[in-house]
């Protein structure tokens, strides 16, 4: 059975982009979360209570800010990846994240 913190955090996930998840936190903040962190109970608790976030790994006041963080994270993955097929997969996630960011920014302007 999944621990309570993992269940609670899984309910906060709004979208998945490969190795990244867009998370709307109970505090109202948004997070660009590396998906491997979502399966570790201590990390889930730290994400939920906000102690996981810091200057190098910030939370965001807007969905668009978190999506920008995801875009940057995927761009880093592409730069570091050696496998052409993995790069292509990451590029498809990057395009999805960029499209979501564009839609969000357009919605915010209305």
Start-to-end Cα distance in the chain: 43
Residue 99 is predicted with a pLDDT of: 98
What lies within 8 Å, CB to CB, of 110 at 6+ separation is none
**Helices vs. strands in the chain: H and E counts, helices first:** 4, 3
pLDDT at res. 75: 97
CA distance 72 to 66: 10
Q: How many domains does the chain have?
A: 1
pLDDT value of residue 36: 85
Q: Which residues span the domain enclosing 13?
A: 1-110
Token output for 52: 């996981």
Provide the pLDDT for residue 3: 81
Q: What is the pLDDT along the chain (110 residues), one digit of tens a residue?
A: 778 888 999 999 999 999 999 999 999 999 999 988 888 889 999 999 999 999 888 999 999 999 999 999 999 999 999 999 999 999 999 999 999 999 999 998 88
- What's the Rg (C-alpha) of the chain? 14
Structure tokens of 106?
A: 């357009």
């Amino acid at each position: 059975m999944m621990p309570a913190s993992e269940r609670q955090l899984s309910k906060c996930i709004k979208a998945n982009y490969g190795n990244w998840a867009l998370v709307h936190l109970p505090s109202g903040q948004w997070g660009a979360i590396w998906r491997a962190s979502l399966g570790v109970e201590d990390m889930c608790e730290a994400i939920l209570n906000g102690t996981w976030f810091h200057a190098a790994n910030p939370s965001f006041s807007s969905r668009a800010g978190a999506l920008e963080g995801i875009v940057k994270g995927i761009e880093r993955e592409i730069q570091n990846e050696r496998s052409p097929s993995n790069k292509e997969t990451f590029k498809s996630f990057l395009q999805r994240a960029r499209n979501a960011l564009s839609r969000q920014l357009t919605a915010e302007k209305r």
